[in-house]
RNA sequence: GGCGAGGUAGCGAAGCGGUCAAACGCAGCAGACUGUAAAUCUGUCGCCCUAGCGGCUUCGAAGGUUCGAGUCCUUCCCUCGCCA
């Protein structure tokens, strides 16, 4: 570990879109970047070797899940998360804030923090802003997220305000804890990455005025980067885009902006146009395991009968390992037969598609052509939506 | 040849007189999935349509009993066990 400090610098802009480089203790990340989700220290269906060959520069992992199993103490004893899982490049850890949303039936929340009833064995665990910070210190990720409350949609403006304000108070506590950890040893906490950065998270539901207040309040803590949370939780796409735009505007230009949990390829393009630098999303990996492939001609469901004798690769324009070697017919067969290779080959392809989309985005920004890239991308999407996607067996273009 | 068990939708399997076109599982067909309790979940799954507590034809075959039969009776056909 070179113990390089965290740094971010924008190298190109094209409209509001930015291209840049984020330096972390475990290496550099070109932005806009996409981080595959490896909740439990593994990206489902892909080995680290796969990820490296795809050009993945940063992984996302999860505080709540690793805390419950195998435990952050164990991981610290194993030398930290990077060494434990055998991944040498940067890692960002989410705080457990998303589990406040996804496991809402199993938790209670108050000013102190979130009490979870473990989904593994039912045991009770209190996750506070300080605790989430400590756990991530022991994991030694390159970027730690503050504990926030990912609010469910829809929510009233009053509920959204209360939730947002609490998240703001939690952010201050998490920041104070982080400063404490950086300055001197704290009892029982092993800091596995001296240069760990910490990102704040903006909340506020779908209300622009709350988002603004949240952004300003979060920025006041002086985090190394800022995330927009609480989106793509069920709201309409255009609302999400509007909130991203109106939140991004209040985040400092010299810090990375991270849109948490998004999204579809189209969401990424749109968010980049509003100044977003980082993404993570389970769609490419989860949908791969469920038989849905992202291609330059739209999404295809590989289990559909229409692909039974389709000898073409999933995406004729793709040069990933899967597309270079296998047909839709074979991948369909593997999926229906329940072969585990179906999951990994599909995952490989989807991740390649995402990574490649981000590469093209970065190139377009570097060449000052992002806006035309974006228009072409959406034109293609609307063409798919109007039907081209329905009859792939006849399109030979 | 004797005794016994059984034949139900593509397959397996419930049902034992009345909302049974028939539970359930699998297979099939389609859909969803956005900081992962997800290799998960949902719908559909005899035929027809104006898609409805709609019409039609079903539960090995043929007769019969009954207001009413997948369910009871008779005969036949066929499977599978055990004994000759």
Name A63's Cβ contacts closer than 8 Å, sequence gap at least 6: A72, A93, A94, A95, A96, A127, A132, A135, A136, A139, A145
pLDDT of residue A263: 94
pLDDT of A386 above 50: no
Nucleotide nearest A37, from its CA to each C1': B36
Q: Which of residues 152-211 of A touch strand B (CB under 7 A)?
A: 201
Average pLDDT over residues A342-360: 98
The candidate with the shortest Cα–Cα distance to A167, out of A148, A152, A190, is A148
Q: Which nucleotide is nearest to A339 (CA to C1')?
A: B39
Looking at residue A114, its pLDDT comes to 98
CA/C1' separation A386–B2 (Å): 73
Q: Please state whether strand B lies within 7 Å of residue A290 at its CB atom.
A: yes
- Is any atom of nucleic acid chain B found less than 7 Å from the CB of residue A105? yes
CA distances to A64, A152, A355 from A14, in Å: 37, 34, 20
- Separation in Å: B10 C1' and A300 CA: 27
pLDDT at residue A387, as a whole number: 40
Minimal CA–CA distance to A328: which of A297, A356, A304, A352? A304
Q: Which residues of A175-190 are buried (b: 16+ CB within 10 A; e: fewer)?
A: bebbeebeeeebeebb
**DSSP states of A64-84:** HHHHHTT-HHHHHHTT-HHHH
HSE, side-chain direction, 13 A CA sphere, residue A261: 20
- Protein-to-nucleotide distance from the CA of A281 to the C1' of B35, whole angstroms: 7
In this prediction, residue A129 has a pLDDT band, given cuts at 50, 70 and 90, of: very high
User: How many Cα atoms are found within 13 Å in the side-chain-facing hemisphere of A226?
Assistant: 27
Nucleotides of B under 7 A from a protein CB: 27-41
Q: Is the CB of A287 under 7 A from strand B?
A: yes
Q: For residue A32, say if its preceding peptide bond is cis, omega within 30 degrees of 0.
A: yes
pLDDT of A349: 98
- CA–CA gap between residue A335 and residue A111 (Å, rounded): 46
A104 touches strand B (CB under 7 A): no
pLDDT in tens, A199-245: 999 999 999 999 999 999 999 999 999 999 999 999 999 999 999 99
A168-200 per-position pLDDT tens digit:
999 999 999 999 999 999 999 999 999 999 999
**Nucleotide B23 C1' to residue A116 CA (A):** 38
Three-state DSSP at A117 gives strand
Query: Which tokens hold the place of A262?
Result: 């998004």
Mean pLDDT (chain A) is 95
3-state secondary structure of A384: helix
Q: How far is the CA of A293 from the C1' of B41 (A)?
A: 18
Beta carbons within 8 Å of A74's beta carbon, 6+ residues apart = none
pTM of the model: 0.93
Residue A94 known to be catalytic: yes
ipTM value: 0.92
Cβ(A228)–Cβ(A247) below 8 Å: yes
Q: CB-side exposure of A215: number of CA atoms within 13 Å?
A: 23
User: Of A94, A142, A310, A315, which residue is the catalytic one?
Assistant: A94
H-run or E-run covering A114:
strand A114-117
């Amino acid at each position: 570990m070179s113990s390089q400090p965290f740094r971010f610098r924008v190298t190109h802009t094209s409209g509001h879109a930015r291209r840049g480089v984020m330096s972390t203790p475990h290496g550099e990340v070109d932005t806009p970047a996409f981080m595959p989700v490896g909740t439990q220290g593994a990206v489902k269906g892909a080995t680290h070797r796969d990820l490296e060959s795809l050009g993945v520069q940063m992984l996302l992992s999860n505080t709540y899940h690793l805390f419950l199993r195998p435990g952050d103490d164990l991981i610290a004893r194993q030398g930290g998360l990077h060494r434990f899982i055998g991944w040498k490049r940067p890692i960002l850890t989410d705080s457990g804030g998303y589990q406040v949303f996804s496991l809402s039936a199993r938790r209670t929340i108050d000013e102190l923090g979130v009490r979870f009833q473990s989904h593994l064995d039912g045991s009770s665990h209190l996750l506070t802003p300080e605790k989430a910070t400590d756990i991530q210190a022991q994991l030694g990720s390159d970027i730690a997220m503050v504990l926030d409350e990912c609010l469910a949609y829809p929510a009233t403006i009053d509920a959204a305000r209360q939730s947002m304000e609490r998240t703001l108070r939690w952010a201050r506590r998490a920041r104070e804890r982080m400063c404490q950890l950086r300055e001197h040893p704290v009892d029982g906490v092993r800091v596995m990455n001296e240069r760990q950065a910490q990102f704040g998270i903006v909340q506020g539901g779908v209300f622009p005025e709350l988002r603004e207040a949240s952004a300003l309040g979060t920025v006041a803590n002086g985090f190394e980067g800022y995330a927009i949370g609480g989106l793509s939780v069920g709201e309409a796409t255009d609302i999400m885009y509007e909130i991203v735009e109106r939140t991004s505007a209040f985040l400092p230009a010299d810090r990375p902006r991270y849109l948490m949990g998004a999204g579809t390829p189209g969401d990424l393009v749109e968010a980049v146009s509003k100044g977003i630098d980082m993404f993570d999303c389970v769609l490419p990996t989860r949908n791969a395991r469920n038989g849905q492939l992202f291609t330059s001609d739209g999404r295809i469901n590989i289990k559909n009968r229409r692909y039974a004798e389709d000898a073409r690769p999933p995406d004729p324009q793709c040069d990933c390992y899967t597309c270079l070697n296998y047909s839709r017919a074979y991948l369909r067969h593997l999926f229906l037969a329940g072969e585990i290779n179906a999951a990994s080959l599909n995952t490989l392809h989807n991740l390649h598609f995402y990574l490649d989309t981000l590469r093209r985005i970065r190139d377009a920004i570097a060449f000052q052509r992002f806006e035309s890239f974006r228009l072409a991308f959406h034109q293609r999407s609307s063409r798919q939506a109007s039907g081209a996607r329905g009859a792939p067996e006849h399109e030979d273009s």
